[in-house]
């Protein structure tokens, strides 16, 4: 007779993280953020390598 559940409790949905992302951003948004991440990572990697070579050449020139 006695029910311990609250009356207005919403049903818990078993949705995956992937479906939540698709629902929030759409397929185009996911593709956009993926490509943006790849480009950003590539730029950081190559610009970082170039940055350290410039710094090392500068420090070497200081002590020559």
For 32-53, how does the pLDDT look when each residue is reduced to its tens digit (9 = 90+)?
999 999 999 998 888 888 888 8
pTM of the model: 0.51
Q: What is the pLDDT of residue 58?
A: 87
Contact 25, 33 (CB under 8 A): yes
Tokens of 30: 């996911």
Q: Residue 22 contacts by C-beta under 8 Å, 6 or more apart in sequence?
A: 30
Q: What is the pLDDT of residue 40?
A: 93
Contact 13, 23 (CB under 8 A): no
Rg of the Cα atoms in the chain: 26
Asked if the model's pLDDT at residue 11 lies above 80, the reply is: no
Q: How far apart are CA 60 and CA 29, in angstroms?
A: 46
């Amino acid at each position: 007779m006695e029910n311990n559940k609250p009356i207005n409790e919403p049903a818990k949905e078993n949705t995956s993280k992937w479906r939540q992302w698709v629902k929030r951003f759409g397929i185009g948004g996911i593709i956009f953020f993926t490509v943006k991440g790849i480009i950003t990572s590539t730029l950081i990697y190559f610009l970082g390598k170039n940055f350290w070579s410039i710094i090392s050449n500068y420090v070497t020139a200081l002590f020559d």
